[in-house]
Amino acid sequence: MTSTALSTVILAAGKGTRMKSRLPKVLHEIAGRPMLGHVLANTRFEGSARTVLVVGPDMDQVADYAHSQRDDLAVVVQKSQLGTGDAARTALPELRDGEGVVLVVFGDTPLVRAGTLADMVETCRMSGSIVILGFEAADPTGYGRILLDNGKVRRIVEHKDANEEERRTRLCFGGPMAVPAAHFGKLLEGLSNENAQGEYYLTDVVSLGRDAGIDCVCVTCPEADIQGVNSRADLAAAEASLQQRMRREAMAEGVTFLDPDTVYLSFDTKFGRDVTVGQNVVFGPGCDIEDAVTIKAFSHLEGAKIAEGAEIGPFARIRPGSEIGRKARIGNFVETKKAKVEEGAKINHLSYIGDARVGPRANIGAGTITCNYDGYSKFFTDIGAGAFVGSNSSLVAPVKIGDGAYLGSGSVVTKDVSADALAVARGRQIEKAGWAAAFRAKNESIKKTSSGD
């Protein structure tokens, strides 16, 4: 085969009834991304001619999500649930006849690696064989078995159709299949539903191909890479597998996890080198962590950029839009949102900084709040370089604190403060000598009178 064209068919028409959810199965998330999103990302190959997503009736939510991720994608509807072979046939009108390779994958197997699929496509392209993905199952119950004849794939038999001897086979079919495009349509048209489930099995393409003189090659992968998701328990297992994979990859690139099993990453978490992450840290989508950052225990980050040498936590919440500068310090029980904290600035404890800029080397005292929302709109607070904000201060936006300014503790600041100025905005303290003693005496007298003493 010489054509480099590639068409990908993603089968996502299953109802996912075992999930017990209003959300379509393939839109349930793993590592902060829908399962279908993982599949779409792992099938984005250079030179791809066409990607076709097969959905069931009334699955507009799935189609809309797919279109939001890929603009080169066509969606077709499998009107009746007649099996995986019928689903693949639904995609035929959208494919280019006879060009290159057709790769078929499933929308509910999100952990198959892009490199594995690329190897399957290349093997099909070079050999002209059908290529299937197999794995050695610890418990093969329920899986289709791959039957070999002198080392070559003879056929795939579904579990319900297998006899006792065939069920003892532990080499199982994982789902993905690469087929020469020149044969794909003809093989699908030859499928029969004479089986235990009365469905058209995609797996029968292998035996039909063999009868037509087309060899089948089995490429294998670890079982953890091919696990499908049909229930909430499966979803949790897939999440655990992907988290372990991402943790290992991060550590291999120079990240230290003090307790790896308690750290949760998102599909797009980026780390520099010499990053140290404490226990029970969660990274939501959109986090970019540069070199030599320390993130202490029980912190939660999402949509944030953390620059080199910064220190976060413990118990910090870094919300979307936060940019934490070089060697900045975000301490315990600090929350930031859409805040730019510049180089060397410190927000050490018990503060909320939202819709704000904190200038270089500024110091924000404990209990400081930027009051950014008036019930209708958000407003911006600008804190200049080297400014000192005393503890328990409230900055009512929009407001600007000049470079080097000093705010007295307990202030409620509603007006701009000039550079290098002192601002104190709190009630004047007064003292009345003996007032407390007189107050107590008065109340004790009333208490005795009312009790009859």
Query: Tens of pLDDT along 363-389?
Result: 999 999 999 999 999 999 999 999 999
Each residue of 182-205: pLDDT tens digit? Answer: 999 999 999 999 888 889 999 999
Helix axes 204-211, 181-189, angle to 10 degrees: 110
User: Where do we find the tokens 């909430």?
Assistant: 232
Q: What is the pLDDT of residue 453?
A: 56
Relative to beta strand 294-295, strand 329-332 is: unpaired
Question: 19-75: per-residue pLDDT in tens?
Answer: 999 999 999 999 999 999 999 999 998 777 789 999 999 999 999 999 999 988 999
| Active-site residue, 28 included | no
The per-residue pLDDT of the chain, averaged, comes to 94
pTM assigned to the model: 0.90
Helix, strand or coil for residue 317? strand
pLDDT tens, position by position, 239-285:
999 999 999 999 999 999 999 999 999 999 999 999 999 999 999 99
Model pLDDT, residue 73: 93
Distance between CA atoms of 8 and 442, rounded to whole angstroms?
Answer: 87
Give residues with Cβ within 8 angstroms of 398, minimum separation 6. Answer: 379, 380, 381
Is the pLDDT at 435 greater than 50? The verdict is yes
- pLDDT classification of 4: cutoffs 50, 70, 90: confident
Write down the pLDDT at residue 28: 97
Q: How many CA atoms lie within 13 A of 101 on its CB side?
A: 30
- The first and second tokens of residue 213, run together, are 């003189």
Q: With beta carbons less than 8 A apart as the criterion, state whether 300 and 320 touch.
A: no
Q: Mean pLDDT, to the nearest integer, of 330-341?
A: 98
Return the higher-pLDDT residue of 429 and 308: 308
